[in-house]
Structure formats: C-alpha cells, structure tokens
Amino acid sequence: MKRLAILLLAACAFAQQGRISLEQLLGTPFPTEMTASPTGGHIAWVQKAKGVRNIWTASPPEYQAAQLTAYIADDGQEIAQLSWTPDASAIVFVRGGAANRNGEIPNPTSDPVGAQQSIWVVPASGGQPRRLAEGASPAASPDSKSVAYIAKGQVWSVTLEGGAAKQLIQARGQAGSLRWSPDGALLAMVSNRGDHSFIGVYDLAAKTLRYLDPSLDRDSNPVFSPDGKQIAFLRVAATAQISLFGPKRTADPWSIRVADTATAKGKQIWSAEPGRGSVFHAVTAENQILWSADGNLVFPWERDGWLHLYSVPPEGGGARLLTHGEFEVEHVSLSPDGKEILYSANSDDIDRRHLFRVPAAGGPVTPLTSGKGIEWFPVMTSDAKALAFFRSDARLPARAAIQMAFGAPRDLVPVDFPGDALVEPEAVVISAADGMKIRGQLFLPAGGGAEKKPAVIFFHGGSRRQMLLGWHYLDYYHNTYAFNQYLASQGYIVLSVNYRSGTGYGMEFREAFNYGATGASEFNDVLGAGLYLQSRPDVDSARIGLWGGSYGGYLTALGLARASNLFAAGVDIHGVHDWNVVIRNFEPRYDPIARQQAATLAFESSPLAHVKGWRSPVLLIHGDDDRNVPFSESVTLAEALRKQGVPFEQLVFPDEVHGFLRYARWLELFEASARFLDRHLKRKQ
C-alpha cells in the first residue's frame, strides 16, 4: 500500500506538472523600472501583464500596491524612463519606442495611424495621464515645474502644466544624458559627434552653452557634485571603442575627469591602468559615476578581471576597491543620504543574483538577501526605511517586493501562479569540445521513467547575457525561461547553455579568444552540449534539437550547419547568419573590402559559410522591423536553404522589432516552436 501511495503521488505530481500551459507561463506579470520618489517614501514601477503595460505605485506605511494608469491594450507601446518629479507630486514617463535609422517608431500592431514616442505625466495621487510632448529622455527640473527632454537629437523643454514646448539648445550632433544641477540653474548633456563626444553645460539664465574640457575622445556620463559647482564624467579614448573583432581585454585606458562648471576647465583625477581591465565595462545604473554625499566618485572597473565597484575622491588619488571576490556587480544605486551603494551581484552564488550594501567610502559589505531566490534592481526609499526591488526564483516569476527595515521581504503584488507545476533546474558543468568548462541549467521533466526522451538545447542572445537558476530579470529571457519550462512539462530534457562570451563568469570568459566573428569558438560549446546530452542514458541521441534567439539563433544555425548529424532540428529566431552584414549594423563604418582578412574570417565564422552541410529542418522566425539583426539575414538564409533542399518553415511578424513587443506575438512564436519541435523530435504514437 505504501508503494502504491508513493506511485499515486508521483503520478499526481507529473499530471500537475504537465497541466501548465503557455498562456499561464507567458501571462505572468513582469515588472521593470523600479524608482523611488525623492521625498515621501513612495515607489513606482512599470508592470506588464499579457502585453498590457501600466504604472504601479506603493506608499508608506503599509506599501499597498495600486495601479496608477489604466492602459488596456496589448499594443506593444512600451512605458519606460520612469521618474518622479522632485516634489513627488507626479510621475513623468515615456510611452512608445525609439525610432529606427529610417526615423520609424515601432508600430507592432501595424496601426495605419502610426505610432509616436511621447513624454507623459500622471499625478501620483491618480488621474488621467497627460501627453506633454513628442520625445524621450525626460528630466524634471528641481523646482518640479518643467521637463527637459530630447527630440530629434536636440534639447527641448515643456512645463508640467502642458502648453507649447520650446527648444532650449540648437547644437551640432545628437544630445543625450540630460542632468540638472541641484539648484536648477544649469543643465548638463552629452553631445555625440560621431567619432567624439563632449559634455555640454547650458546656463538657463544666461542662455549660454559651453563644453567642458573638450578633447578628441568620447566623454559621457556626467554627474554634478552635491554643490553643483563641478561635474565628473568618463573619458574613453576613441581608439578604445568596442569592436566586434577580437577579445576586449586591453585597450587605451579610460579615465575619470572633473571639470569646473564656471570655467569649463577640467583635469584627470583617475585613469584605468594600461593592460588588463583597461576596457570600460558598464553596470546597470542611472549613471556610471555616482557622486556620494561624503565626497567619493563610485564607478565600475574590471581591474582584477571581475566587474567590481571602486571609489576615488574628486581631488584624485588611487581607486579604493569597494567589492571584492570572483563575482560581478550588476544593478547599482545610491542610497537617499548619498553615503551607501546598493547593488546586485552573483557573489557566492554564481548563477543567481542577490542584494548587498556597502559604504561609498569603503567598509564592510552587508548582504541584504540570500537563499535560492534571484533579486535585482535595489532602490531605497527616500526615508531610508524600506528597500524596494524585484525578485524571482525557480518556480515563481518576477515580481516587485518591499523589505521593511531590511527584514523579511514581501511581494507588493501577490502572484497567482502554479509554481508547483514547474521543475527546478539543476546547475550543471559540461565540457566544451575544446575542453573549456561551460555552465548551464538542466531542466528534467517530472515523472522520470525509463523511456529515453527528446532533448532541446537553448542558447541565450547577447552574447553578453547569463541565464540563471530561475526566472530572469530581463523580459526577453523571462519569456525564454518560460518556454524552457514548458518544454520540460511536455517531456523534453532541456539544457540551457551559458556559452563563452557571456557575462557572469568574469572578463576572461566574456572576452574569450576567437569568439563570434573572429572564429566562432562558441561552436565548441554547442558541440559539447550536444555530446553531453548524447551521453546521458535518459536522452534519445537521435532526437536532440536546438533553439535560441539573436546570438542564440546564430548558434542554433551554426549547430545545424556544422553538425546536422548530431542535431535533428532547430528553431532559429532572428539569428545572425553572416557576420559581415550584422557588423555593419553596429559599426556603420565597417568596410569588409578594406578589411579582407577579417571579413574572410567573419564569413567563415558564420552559418552561411557552412550551409552545404546543413540537413536538419529549421523554423525561421523574424520581425521585419528588427533593429538589431537585419531581416535580410533570414531572407538570405532561406534562399540558401532552398538551394540546398533543406526543409524549413517560417514565421514572419510584420512591423515587429527584435524584442517582440506584443504578448500575442510571443504566444504565437512559442506555440509554433512547440509544434515544430514536436513534429521533428517526438516519436509518432
């Protein structure tokens, strides 16, 4: 009887696990844009549920979440760049995506009226949002009366009461990164001039514009001192700009400079040491330099091969290490008193994220969260009584959370989700074909059984990404994690591979030799993943498939082109198929004719160079307004596959961008992918 009870419980668990649907998995709300008000202790964030985006708020002392806006359509119009007015009376935000190189705003519903990217304001107490102007990058003035913003590369201003907008600055180049001085008298910006950029400061009373300490290099990330008399900024040598050719472990050093706002004269106060770690690598933060209230400039640096936080006094001197160990810092913010740094990192838990705090002047690091969850985007409330952030784990998806007095956190919007129906992925380490150790997550279907199962390998995009042991903190990978869980619920063994050139494991791993267009060394990881699954006794070696998007689509296509004998089918979502085309998307000045040796290697590193070996069927998925990977990449591959007689299917989304802005598209994409994989990897009954 006892054995029968155990078997019945196992059967019930398997049945429960098998009942999860794509609608349930993809329909979970996803939060972004956590921000704290400058006063009053309020917080706000954006929440997307089945493609419908709205702003939510919560206030002390209870912090009961409330939906502030009332949008109802899955229209693909993003809500982003959320910020409070300094008096906390209203929230300014941007609705709609940025234009592509042809000046076209994303319009994923193909609305014949078109779409706009506009700046809106909504009262924090509730009410209808009001459209202020067409544009983006809003910065509310310190007196909470107006908003400076960017429209068509120029700086404009509009009052929060509405009315006609006026252009503040007419200047060469493309303006961005608007920053107000504490007293509202000055407005700093970055003026991008193509192969160089300046930090500009506009005096509103005098109506004058001056550039701080101009040079031949690229200046960015301006931040005012607490008294508004100085500005610190990053300077990166033009020759040190990121290229897609070769690992970026060394370059001309980057530096931090401080300039006087009255005289525009500046000086270098710190410079990265030449050699290892001399390439600037950013964290996720409002600005890459944070000026603390106790007089420290906090910034990221890879001096020891791991992305850490350092600080230096504005007078200059040696950099002080604030975080240390073999982990990487990611989401960073400044405490409301300006004396502490809050951050997320994979410290002592390489495939998750947890939260920490450290004094800007240096001192002990205090862990704020731990365990098997994933936490990110920490923001302290203005009264310093609570910490707001986002969190997830292996079973429960992303949600906003609050931690009062740094005690036990609670969800701000409880999630009604069948988390018990999901499997908990296992951390695995596999050997690539060249011997490199590669980490990943293994999803094993519930129920077990002696029958060999079909298997699927997933490759993330980026490649500067890391998949985790739970729901991801980026919505694209939140969705891909959901699909991996769905495949596991349908009886697939799923291996998610954190291949070389991804993040989370240090600079040496990220800047792997011969990666991407310089040799496709990641193919060793693709092959190693296939051989690992082939060696497992629970995998049917004749039924191993691949899937991935963007860079993951590239590796899917590369695996099918170079190892169709190992991989039976694949789903290639907006993948890279010829590096010489895609490189121009990121480096417009790239000329393959002028760089013939590099161009030859780039093509040999591309799936199209090996298409004659391609035999396995593939599903090609692409949106034709893709701003990252040209739609022509899928068009060209389809033509090559036709000539080879390779069976392929296609799913095209008119007017969709790289990230697929609509829930309906994601659902259609995964439904089609599941049907395709089932047809080619599951045995006919």
Provide block-wise average pLDDT over 10 residues at a time, the chain (685 residues): 38 50 95 97 97 97 96 97 97 96 92 96 96 97 97 96 92 96 98 95 97 96 97 85 60 89 96 80 96 96 95 95 97 97 97 97 95 97 97 97 89 92 97 98 88 97 97 98 98 98 96 95 98 97 98 98 98 97 86 90 97 97 96 98 97 97 98 98 74
Pairing between strand 79-84 and 90-95? antiparallel
At position 605, the amino acid (one-letter code) is S
Domains of the chain: 29-170+381-416 (2.40.128), 425-681 (3.40.50.1820)
Contact 94, 80 (CB under 8 A): yes
Query: Which of 402, 292, 380 minimizes the C-alpha distance to 35?
Result: 380
pLDDT at 12 (0 to 100) = 42
Contact 384, 336 (CB under 8 A): yes
Q: Which residue has the tokens 């011969």?
A: 514
Is 371 buried (19+), middle (13-18) or exposed (0-12) by CB count in 10 A? exposed
Query: Which of 356, 352, 374 minimizes the C-alpha distance to 365?
Result: 356
Residue 641 main-chain phi, psi, to 5 deg: -65, -40
Contact 42, 18 (CB under 8 A): no
pLDDT at 464 (0 to 100) = 95
Burial 280-308 (b: 16+ CB within 10 A, else e): bbebbbebbbbbbeeebbbbbbbbebbbb
pLDDT at 244 (0 to 100) = 55
Q: What distance in Å separates the CA atoms of residue 369 and residue 377, rounded to the nearest whole number?
A: 12
Query: Which of 429, 401, 433 minimizes the C-alpha distance to 415?
Result: 401
Q: Which H/E stretch holds residue 2?
A: helix 2-18
pLDDT at 242 (0 to 100) = 42
Q: Which residues contact 55 (CB under 8 A, 6 or more apart)?
A: 44, 45, 46, 47, 67, 68, 69, 79, 82, 91, 93, 122
- Tokens for 27, please give them: 């329909």
pLDDT at 163 (0 to 100) = 84
pLDDT at 415 (0 to 100) = 87
Tell me how many degrees the CA angle 36-40-46 measures, rounded to the nearest 5: 30
Contact 361, 311 (CB under 8 A): yes
